[in-house]
Amino acid sequence: MKKPIPDIVIGRLPVYLRALQHMMDAGRSVTSSQELGERLGISAAQIRKDLSQFGEFGKQGTGYTIEFLAQQIQAILKIEKVWEIALIGAGDMGNALAAYQGFNQRGFHISKIFDSDPNKIGKQIGDYKVLNIESMESEIKKANIKIAMLAVPASVAQEVTDKLVDAGIKAILNYAPVSINVPEGVRKQYIDPAVHLQRMSYYLK
């Protein structure tokens, strides 16, 4: 049996992919582990080692064809298809996410939005009508949605998480500033602006 690839390596692939897509947007066609490394603050050796876990994507001395490498990473990350997402919470953050232009072409599409507030249920947000959170489990099961974004108040984040897990959700992106517990087999990630700010404050005088 093959050893599973460490999650920290998986976590770097989307960052490589984003850099490759920025290069493509700028009209570039070839890059190197050195250039990628300099852009990302990661050593070239680390990038080569990470990519070598999945196959041979470049040639010594000629570097990587950006489009090909991007396609390979997309395939590894299973985003050649588009994943439907359930968004929970139609407050300011939910509205911002519903309007966010960064999901298209990166493998994701918000499919349904839920809230518990009677003043929000039934309201139109862009293309979406806000659904009653009471119907969340049945709607998610019916549509076979596997990914959810959690934009609810911290106080209810765990309760909603438990319901999402019951509904068959396997990956949760949590915007609430609170830790959530999920059972084995369910992935979680946090959107945590403080982590990014702290990474920069280190360098400030």
Interface with its own copies by CB under 8 A: which residues? Answer: 6-8, 10-11, 13-15, 17-18, 22, 25, 41-43, 46, 76-79, 83, 85, 91-93, 95-97, 99-103, 106-108, 146-147, 149, 151, 154, 170-171, 173, 177, 179, 187, 189-204
As measured in angstroms, the least distance from the Cβ of 22 to its own copies is 5
As measured in angstroms, the least distance from the Cβ of 178 to its own copies is 8
Dist. CA 16–CA 23, nearest whole Å: 11
Closest to its own copies by CB, 110 or 136: 110
As measured in angstroms, the least distance from the Cβ of 41 to its own copies is 4
| CB-facing half-sphere around the CA of 115: CA atoms within 13 A | 22
| CB-facing half-sphere around the CA of 98: CA atoms within 13 A | 23
Closest to its own copies by CB, 9 or 30: 9
As measured in angstroms, the least distance from the Cβ of 59 to its own copies is 26
As measured in angstroms, the least distance from the Cβ of 48 to its own copies is 15
Is residue 111 within 8 A of residue 84, CB to CB? The reply is yes
Closest to its own copies by CB, 30 or 76: 76
| Residue 181 burial (CB count, 10 A) | 10
Closest to its own copies by CB, 122 or 177: 177
